[in-house]
Amino acid sequence: MASKSTTLLAGIASQNATLYHRVRFLVPDSSVIIDFAGGNSVFLVRDIEMDRARKEAPADLVSCAAAFTPEGGLSGDRDTALAQAAAECVRQAGETEVMVDRSLPYLYAHHLLEAGIGVTYSEDFGVTERRSKTPEEIEHLRHAQKITGEAMTYACRTIAKAKPAAEGILQYEGEVLTSERIRAMITAFLIERNFSNSQDSIVVTVPHVADCHHFGTGPLKANMPIIVDIFPMDNATRYHGDMTRTVVCGEPSDECRKMHAAVRAAKDAGCEALKTGTTGEAVHRVVAKEIEAHGFSMVRGDARHDQETATMRHGTGHGIGLEVHEPILLDDGGGEILENEVFTVEPGLYSGTFGGVRVEDMVVATRDGHEILSTLHEGLDWKES
């Protein structure tokens, strides 16, 4: 932002990471934070939340909708009343314009405009503030990734030690081992460690792996690569882990080994390229070059997902923090990387015949290069990992 502007963020903090990043205060209902150009701030919450908010939220004034009742009164609808009060708060302060971010519910824009307050959208507001992570945020992400790695080890070892039965279908503790069963085991493991897994995990093999974001379904099979992708949230901090590994119970095919070697080399190259001052696009191009150097190709857009030849059909990675997917992307058009920005690096290859392979780590871009948070075994055999 070229100059200081009055800004307004609103919504439900548990669903709006930008709002939570600013107020660090969770309530089940909507709240509003107004940061005035003059330097003071007003945080509006339900009246029953004000005492706690005054102790915990970083704001000069904590109040409720009733304190800013417009001339026509407040609606009986709680969310509408809060939007009306936010507009009245801005009006009473003598402000004629507010800057808002991409997450603002239109309800608030409507009542601001109705009160004669101009609304200016900023593409960067609410994004730039969250990209460079503080040392504390990096430690939150490190812990989240550590627990994610423990869940990954648990899942991959369970798969690796399963016993193949008829037609190579894996059995575990006397029952068929399915994608759904492993995913439920991962969720239970995470819940015991105070992590949420509300978006589920990916445990997928052929044929569904040819669609590289399929969650997986049905029995798992021996001698075929199985992608496991876990991306939970630490309930204590609300920061996320995100890790992918590939496991084979049995003997991988020569083509699978070739795919795995290409993906690991591409991931290593992407991590080496990830540093402050380069761009997300440059990192992605390094990864794509490594994939192609190993004899595979990049295919984007409306590509068939059932072809025999393995291809990579997605970008290299994404920002991560209070959300699993945050700007910016390590992909075509990805902008300049900031110091202490945190990304996933996750190349993958996918074939409806040979299966899929993906390996993913969480990486901090530092002034001197990069740091991988919570390294973990990357091989296909997990029995002794």
pLDDT in tens, 24-67: 999 999 999 999 999 999 999 999 999 999 999 999 999 999 99
CATH architecture of 7-126: 3-Layer(aba) Sandwich (3.40)
**Where along the chain do its domains lie?**
7-126, 132-373
- Tell me: pLDDT of 383 over 90: no
- Rounded Cα distance between 341 and 228, Å, is 25
pLDDT, position 212: 79
Q: What is the pTM of this model?
A: 0.95
* Measured distance CA(284)–CA(263) in Å, rounded: 13
What the block records as the tokens of 204 is 């997928």
Do residues 364 and 373 touch, judged by C-beta distance below 8 A?
yes
* Mean pLDDT estimate for the chain: 95
pLDDT grade for 1, boundaries at 50, 70 and 90: very low
pLDDT(114) > 70: yes
Q: Token pair 């409306």 is at which residue?
A: 302
Provide the terminal-to-terminal Cα distance of the chain, rounded to the nearest Å: 49
Checking if the pLDDT of 121 tops 80, the result is yes
pLDDT digits (tens, 9 = 90+) for 266-314: 999 999 999 999 999 999 999 999 999 999 999 987 655 556 789 999 9
Do 109 and 90 touch, CB atoms closer than 8 A? no
How confident is the model at residue 300, as a pLDDT?
Answer: 85
> Tens of pLDDT along 306-353?
567 899 999 999 999 999 999 999 999 999 999 999 999 999 999 989
Q: Flag whether pLDDT at 166 surpasses 90.
A: no
Q: How many residues does the chain have?
A: 385
Task: Kindly state the tokens that stand for 75.
Answer: 């609606």
pLDDT digits (tens, 9 = 90+) for 90-101: 999 999 999 999
Nearest Cα neighbor of 144 from 245, 16, 14, 232 is 232
At 217 the pLDDT is 96
Task: Return the structure tokens found at 282.
Answer: 């440059």
The DSSP line for 240-281 is B--EEEEE-SS---HHHHHHHHHHHHHHHHHHHH--TTSBHH
276, two tokens: 């402050």
In the predicted structure, residue 21 carries a pLDDT above the cut 50: yes
Which tokens hold the place of 93?
A: 């302060």
2 pLDDT tier (thresholds 50, 70, 90): very low
CATH number of 132-373: 3.90.230.10
What confidence tier does 211 reach under pLDDT thresholds 50, 70, 90?
confident
Percent of the chain scoring above 90 in pLDDT: 93
Residue type, 47: D
